[in-house]
């Protein structure tokens, strides 16, 4: 009960969104408690009340990403896209928009945290992994929905993992080059792979 009350407390939410924004933009280690208090317009007493340590805030941010994957990420990306394979490319396009809107400084907050934190504590690593697995699972469901367009021997779980690989590797290079080019190239090559998969699937049905 007390958890439910605190989960909707406006001050807690302001701190949570400030942490989400700062960890994504500046990184976890570069974000100070002072940064969080300033961005949230909160006092240190409130911060320590809701999040005794910075890691507690990080865990809450990662839980918010985990719970937000459908309402915050997929629903907006898929609003006008019904085709299951096109939904995958629409999801990738939403990362492109994030890169474009931030001059290629912001891509995937989970990927950044995964590589920034060299030896994350087990609960942090667990939540990073859960976020990746949630993403992969939603993509896998798209692939399952488009199953008849893929060759019979395609493992949809493996292909979904590979699509996350493509997104993360593309975002990393785009951020480093401060240019969308490597991201666009990665998505275009993935498109070519799908084109060949769909063509091979047609061959099987002949």
Q: Please, are residues 31 and 38 in contact by the beta-carbon 8 Å criterion?
A: no
User: Which positions from 3 through 62 interact with a second copy, judged by CB under 8 A?
Assistant: 25-27, 29-30
* Residue 125 binds a second copy, judged by CB under 8 A: yes
Q: CA nearest 27: which of 48, 35, 69?
A: 35
The size of the chain, in residues, is 206
- 60, 128, 139, 143: which one contacts a second copy (CB under 8 A)? 128
**Token digits of residue 69:** 């994957």
Closest CB 123 distance from a second copy, rounded Å: 13
- Residue that has been written with the tokens 């406006």 in this structure: 10
Rounded to the nearest angstrom, the gap between the alpha carbon of residue 166 and the centroid of all alpha carbons in its chain is 13
- 67, 70, 116, 204: which one contacts a second copy (CB under 8 A)? 116
CA angle 118, 93, 176 (to 5 degrees): 40
- 41, 152, 176, 202: which one contacts a second copy (CB under 8 A)? 176
Binding site for a second copy (CB under 8 A): 25-27, 29-30, 105, 111-112, 114-119, 125, 128-129, 132, 154, 158-159, 161-162, 164-170, 172-173, 175-178, 182, 185-186, 188-190, 192-193, 196-197, 200
């Amino acid at each position: 009960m007390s958890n439910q009350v605190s989960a909707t407390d406006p001050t807690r939410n302001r701190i949570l969104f400030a942490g989400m924004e700062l960890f994504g933009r500046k990184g976890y280690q570069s974000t100070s408690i002072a940064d969080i208090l300033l961005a949230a317009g909160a006092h240190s007493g409130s911060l320590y009340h809701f999040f005794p340590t910075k890691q507690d805030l990080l865990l809450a941010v990662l839980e918010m990403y985990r719970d937000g994957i459908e309402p915050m990420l997929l629903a907006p990306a898929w609003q006008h896209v019904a085709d299951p394979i096109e939904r995958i490319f629409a999801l990738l396009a939403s990362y492109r928009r994030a890169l474009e809107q931030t001059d290629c400084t912001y891509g995937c907050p989970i990927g950044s945290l995964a590589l920034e934190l060299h030896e994350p504590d087990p609960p942090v690593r667990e939540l990073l992994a859960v976020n990746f697995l949630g993403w992969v699972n939603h993509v896998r469901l798209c692939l399952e929905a488009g199953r008849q367009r893929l060759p019979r021997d395609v493992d949809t779980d493996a292909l979904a993992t590979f699509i996350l690989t493509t997104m993360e590797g593309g975002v990393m290079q785009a951020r480093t080059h401060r240019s969308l080019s490597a991201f666009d190239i990665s998505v275009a090559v993935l498109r070519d792979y799908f084109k060949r998969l769909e063509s091979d699937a047609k061959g099987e049905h002949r």
